[in-house]
């Protein structure tokens, strides 16, 4: 994209003072002709970029011209426009930042930057749902993370048990519209679901945070442990090949195909935390799916079937009787 290349060219010249078209082409991974055209475009835009003929020449940035976008590489500049653009669709703060970012560019190639920012958008609402809003609690916790202040939480766990904790907030993660707080506690690092935080009271006490803490690395460990728990029970099932895609949507990375059978069905391996979790996901398939093993999943399906038959079989008979 030309806009981010021009920004990267300007930043490179700020750091080096003088570059040749060949050096610029090598740095930005473009042709020498493209690099030369970009340099000429900067000059035509009114940026004090001038060719210096002769040995040791090249293109020089005269007068120490500056831009507020210092420090960005070509890929980083492009990623920034593409990232902020979608966020601006759902965030007034991001929209304001995008306007300032575009204004920092030379007038002649702002249009391309705006096009990059408008290339994609985010619609956080799923089909059939009302508009989704980020929980207000997230903003409160985010402020505590940034200001590095301890927070007193009232937390309700999965067993509906309430507890109060004083935590050091380290970072927030949005995972498929569910927010998580990673924090330090007296028992070490812990992860809290924000929708289970009943109350959050920021304090004036400074929060402790390890110097080597990286949110992305910490979350990767959380995901790894969660995936281990989710994969505690494995089952082998048979299903028509056309339905495998739907199973993948339900089970994600815990769905693996394992060849075809003589009758044309596909053998699939599925995983979930418990046999009941697998059975609940498969019960609605009826006879379209056959569970080969383990026996625990087959037993859970049989139990669910008996429960459903006991509740609805009489109603089905009465309906058919009425029709007769």
Mean pLDDT of 170-176: 85
Quick one: 117 and 46 in the same domain? Answer: yes
Give residue-wise pLDDT tens across range 75-93.
555 555 655 565 555 566 6
Domain end among 200, 225, 250: 225
Domain end among 70, 98, 123: 123
Q: How many domains does the chain have?
A: 3
Q: What's 148's domain CATH number?
A: 2.30.30
On the question of pLDDT at 306 being above 90, the answer is yes
For residues 1 and 28, which has the higher predicted lDDT (pLDDT)? 28
As a whole number, the mean pLDDT across the chain is: 80
Quick one: 108 and 169 in the same domain? Answer: no
Q: What's 251's domain CATH number?
A: 3.30.70
Reported confidence tier of residue 296, pLDDT bands at 50, 70, 90: very high
- Distance (Å, whole) CA 171 – CA 133: 19
Quick one: 35 and 112 in the same domain? Answer: yes
Nearest to 196 by CA among 235, 153, 227: 153
Quick one: 176 and 264 in the same domain? Answer: no
Reported confidence tier of residue 71, pLDDT bands at 50, 70, 90: very low
Question: How high is the pLDDT of residue 120?
Answer: 56
Mean pLDDT of 247-262: 89
Reported confidence tier of residue 224, pLDDT bands at 50, 70, 90: confident
Quick one: 220 and 240 in the same domain? Answer: no
Report the predicted TM-score, pTM, of the whole model to 2 decimal places: 0.53
* Residue 269 maps to a domain: yes
Quick one: 37 and 114 in the same domain? Answer: yes
- Least confident segment among 59-63, 68-72, 145-149: 68-72
Quick one: 101 and 169 in the same domain? Answer: no
Neighbours of 318 (CB within 10 A): 10
Residue pair 205/149 in contact by the 8 Å Cβ criterion:
yes
Quick one: 217 and 239 in the same domain? Answer: no
* Residue 322 maps to a domain: no
Domain end among 72, 90, 123: 123
| Structural domain boundaries enclosing 161 | 136-225
* Residue 323 maps to a domain: no
Residue pair 10/42 in contact by the 8 Å Cβ criterion:
yes
Quick one: 188 and 116 in the same domain? Answer: no
Reported confidence tier of residue 130, pLDDT bands at 50, 70, 90: low
* Residue 128 maps to a domain: no
Alpha carbon 38 to its chain centroid, in Å, reads 34
* Residue 198 maps to a domain: yes
The residues facing 51 across adjacent strands are: 59
Reported confidence tier of residue 142, pLDDT bands at 50, 70, 90: confident
Reported confidence tier of residue 51, pLDDT bands at 50, 70, 90: confident
Question: How high is the pLDDT of residue 250?
Answer: 84
Reported confidence tier of residue 1, pLDDT bands at 50, 70, 90: very low
On the question of pLDDT at 141 being above 60, the answer is yes
What percentage of residues in the chain have a pLDDT greater than 90? 34
Mean pLDDT of 69-78: 50
Quick one: 256 and 311 in the same domain? Answer: yes
Mean pLDDT of 135-140: 84
On the question of pLDDT at 228 being above 70, the answer is yes
Quick one: 217 and 238 in the same domain? Answer: no
On the question of pLDDT at 181 being above 60, the answer is yes
Question: How high is the pLDDT of residue 162?
Answer: 93
Quick one: 46 and 20 in the same domain? Answer: yes
């Amino acid at each position: 994209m030309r806009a981010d290349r021009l920004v990267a060219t300007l930043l490179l010249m700020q750091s080096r003072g003088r570059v040749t078209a060949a050096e610029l082409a090598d740095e930005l991974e473009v042709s020498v002709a493209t690099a030369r055209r970009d340099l000429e475009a900067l000059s035509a835009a009114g940026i004090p970029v001038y060719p210096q003929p002769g040995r040791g020449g090249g293109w020089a940035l005269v007068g120490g011209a500056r831009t507020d976008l210092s420090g960005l590489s070509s890929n980083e500049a492009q990623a920034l426009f593409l990232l902020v653009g979608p966020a601006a669709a759902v965030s007034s703060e991001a929209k304001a930042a995008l306007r300032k970012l575009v204004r920092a560019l030379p007038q002649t190639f702002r249009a391309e930057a705006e096009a990059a920012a408008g290339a994609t958008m985010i619609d956080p609402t799923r089909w059939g749902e009302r508009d989704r809003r980020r929980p207000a609690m997230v903003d409160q916790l985010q402020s505590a993370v940034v200001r590095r202040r301890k927070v007193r939480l009232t937390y309700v766990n999965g067993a509906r048990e309430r507890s109060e904790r004083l935590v050091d907030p380290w970072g927030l993660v949005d995972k498929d519209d569910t927010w998580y707080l990673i924090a330090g506690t007296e028992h070490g690092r812990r992860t809290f679901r924000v929708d289970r935080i009943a109350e959050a009271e920021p304090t004036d006490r400074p929060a402790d945070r390890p110097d080597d803490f990286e949110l992305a690395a910490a979350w990767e460990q959380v995901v790894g442990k969660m995936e281990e728990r989710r994969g505690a029970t494995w089952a082998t099932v048979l299903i028509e090949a056309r339905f495998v895609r739907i199973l993948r949507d339900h089970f994600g990375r815990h769905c693996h195909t394992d060849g075809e059978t003589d009758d044309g069905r596909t053998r699939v391996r599925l995983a979930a935390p418990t046999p009941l979790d697998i059975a609940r996901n498969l019960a609605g398939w009826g006879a379209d799916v056959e569970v080969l093993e383990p026996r625990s999943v087959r037993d859970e399906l049989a139990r669910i079937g008996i429960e459903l038959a006991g509740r609805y079989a009489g109603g089905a008979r009465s309906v058919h009787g009425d029709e007769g």
